[in-house]
Amino acid sequence: MSQKVIDLLQAAFESPDLQEKLHAADNPESFVKTASELGYQLTPEELGAGLGKLHGVFGNVVESMMDQLTGGAPPTNGTSPTPEKVQGRNADLVKRLFSRGEAFDSEGFITFFTDNPLYQFGNFEVCLDKESIKKSADAFFSKISAVYHEIKMIWEVEDVVFVEMDVTYWRKDRSVISLPCCDIFRVEGDKFSELRIFMDVNPVFDPSIRVPESASVLTLTQGKKMIPPGTMKKHFAEHPEGKERVAKGFAPKWSIDGPQWSIGEENGSMSQQVQTVGKVAESVIKQDWEQLKQFLTDDVFYKVGSGQPVYGKQAVVDFLSKLVTTTAKFQSHNVRKIWDEPGIVSVEMDANYLRLKDQKKIKIACCDIYRLRGNQVSEWRVYADMAPFYEEEPIKPVTIEKDSNVVTVLVSFSVEPSRQQELLDRIMTYGGSEVKSQPGFISSSLHKSVDCTRVLNYTQWRSREDYEAFAKDSLGSNAQKIFQIVPDIHIYEIQQQTVAPK
């Protein structure tokens, strides 16, 4: 070990003033800089190598010291919560287990348990052997895209480790949910004999369950949010085993799916501006318009492509709510680059939508520019080609033959001129999501009168039985609810057909 490191540690042990100055450093670089200013010249590499050697002998002590070096000094104004320092070997064992879960590595996950473990996740069935733990983990992993453990508190009491955290899940539909969780681990030697996970995980499987903003553990103190420590991000970026596992193909799913975070330091310190932009996108995905308003100024300016601009938070909400209910639903985005400058955030990305009229997934390359006043967006410009929202499939002519067995159904509506387009949008959405896949359905041709008072839908079915089954099971008494206007529906057969001479 470097004599410089030995001298510095010995001096720190003997001098509380020196300890205090070194502990005020908030990362290894500032620690080395502080030591240099105090007359102890060493490099980050020398420090890391020295502590690495000490770790083999004094694991718990070094772990605690490293947490003090990288965790930052406690606040002096008393206005923010301070997370518990990650302690020794057993706490490190917990982080290593979480890394297996975040990589969806069920085989590696069960190696951390004794041969006769007890594992219980919420109210799910208790697992009493490794194989059942693996099956439980695999079943859960199959239902999500990624998971991240944002550790808030972790402490050891003899052979028990307690963890309080927020667990963030990315669902298969690209929506995101963060839930409070408490884990209790019991350790035997270097294995877990027991793991009990206490949380309500139901919102992961049912997005309709509302989770308030204040649900997360230790995120609210005097109206201010504590900066997430990013413990697991640091694990994959800095821990020797974490780096080795990434190199061997066991990267966390949040780096290749879900948010597609890169593995590195930059993830741990998003500015308030970037967090605001993230909350704006999250609100649109969840269609939580009240939450969205919180992140917009009263006089916000919003413009998409070459479309007409809208002004004011309610106008923005009206525009977006109409878009996601009549045209396309925003599902997720793949961010390529974020530029964060004072008062302005620029995001280059692909935005993923579900087009409602035909349930087709579309991807739109765009650049969003956000200008902010404080932590609210005052100007939001979307630069993108929005044509995929509205492109139509080529119209195929409907063949009408007198001797055909095809059944024709005409559905007509009388409508106020001001509501004709709204009705057309409803019919197109319903046709694309419900009717198109019905057994026996052949085609639909939607017509609108030029005086805007009528809408006519000409549909064809393979048989009368097919149409009547659809009308009974899927349409029936719901017609007025779906269209908000009572349609006039009749089945027709061709009586006579006259065609122009060839």
Q: What sign for the dihedral angle of Cα 258, 252, 93, 65?
A: negative
How far is residue 339's CA from residue 337's CA, in Å, rounded to a whole number?
Answer: 7
Calculate ∠ Cα 258-168-365, nearest 5°: 30
Q: What sign for the dihedral angle of Cα 425, 430, 431, 432?
A: positive
Number of domains in the chain: 4
What confidence tens digit (pLDDT) does each residue in 17-58 have? Answer: 777 677 666 666 777 787 787 777 777 667 666 665 554 455
- The answer as to whether 431 is a domain residue is yes
Identify the weakest region by mean pLDDT among 189-193, 242-246, 433-437.
Answer: 433-437
**106 and 193 housed in the same domain:** yes
**Which parts of 158-283 are beta strand (E)?**
160-171, 176-188, 191-198
Q: What is the pLDDT of residue 24?
A: 67
**123 and 242 housed in the same domain:** yes
Task: Flag whether pLDDT at 264 surpasses 70.
Answer: no
**342 and 433 housed in the same domain:** no
What confidence tens digit (pLDDT) does each residue in 308-336 have? Answer: 889 999 999 999 998 888 888 888 777 77
- 239 phi, psi to nearest 5 deg: -65, 130
How far is residue 129's CA from residue 109's CA, in Å, rounded to a whole number?
Answer: 13
- The answer as to whether 501 is a domain residue is no
Instruction: List the domain range (segments joined by +) for residue 62.
Output: 3-71
DSSP state of 226: P
- The answer as to whether 148 is a domain residue is yes
Band (66; pLDDT cuts 50, 70, 90): very low
Band (403; pLDDT cuts 50, 70, 90): low
**464 and 374 housed in the same domain:** no
Domain boundary among 330, 361, 390: 390
Task: Flag whether pLDDT at 273 surpasses 50.
Answer: yes
Q: CA-CA distances (angstroms) from residue 290 to 22, 73, 225, 295, 296?
A: 45, 37, 20, 10, 10
**362 and 278 housed in the same domain:** yes
Instruction: Assign residue 339 the CATH number of its domain.
Output: 3.10.450.50
**296 and 175 housed in the same domain:** no
For residues 413-422, average pLDDT: 86
- Report helix, strand or coil for 360: strand
Q: What is the pLDDT of residue 33?
A: 80
If you average pLDDT over every residue of the chain, what do you get? 79
Q: pTM for the whole thing? A: 0.44
Helix, strand, coil distribution of the chain in percent, nearest 5: 40, 30, 30
Q: What is the pLDDT of residue 490?
A: 86
Of 371 and 329, the structure prediction assigns the larger pLDDT to: 371
Q: What is the pLDDT of residue 289?
A: 92
**277 and 380 housed in the same domain:** yes
**277 and 235 housed in the same domain:** no
Q: What is the pLDDT of residue 197?
A: 93
- The answer as to whether 161 is a domain residue is yes
Q: Given strand 113-121, what is the order of strands in its sheet?
A: 113-121, 191-198, 176-188, 160-171, 144-157
**62 and 93 housed in the same domain:** no
**197 and 50 housed in the same domain:** no
How far is residue 469's CA from residue 483's CA, in Å, rounded to a whole number?
Answer: 19
What confidence tens digit (pLDDT) does each residue in 163-211 have? Answer: 888 899 988 877 888 889 999 999 999 999 999 999 999 989 888 888 8
Contact 446, 464 (CB under 8 A): no
For residue 384, give the amino acid letter.
Answer: A
